[in-house]
Amino acid sequence: MTTFLGNPVTFTGKQPQVGDTAPDFSLTSTDLSKKTLADFAGKKKVLSIIPSIDTDVCSTQTRHFNQGLSDLDNTVVITISVDLPFAQGKWCAAEGKSSRGYFRVPLTPPYVPFGIRRFN
């Protein structure tokens, strides 16, 4: 059972399972180019989906994933938020990080706020 703050939460649609293949998507990178999941073919991918890089929790999560997974071979962290690419690039510059792997999600269907895609 999934809970949030101790209360049961119900999800709709099919929940992803370990080993499931994510569908391809197209997002805008910090350099304003379009990137797809297929651009990272052959690599292990960690999708970190956050509301905004400019919040303490999201910044901490992003920093944690970058530090914790930076030594793993053939692994890429893909951070997705609703921030403009310039805001993501500013965070990367302040953190001394490469801006590769930071993407803006469009706020149009089939996407919903905070970069979570709906699968029915």
Catalytic residues: 58
69: tokens are 């997974």
Query: Burial of 34 by CB count in 10 Å (0-12 exposed, 13-18 middle, 19+ buried)?
Result: exposed
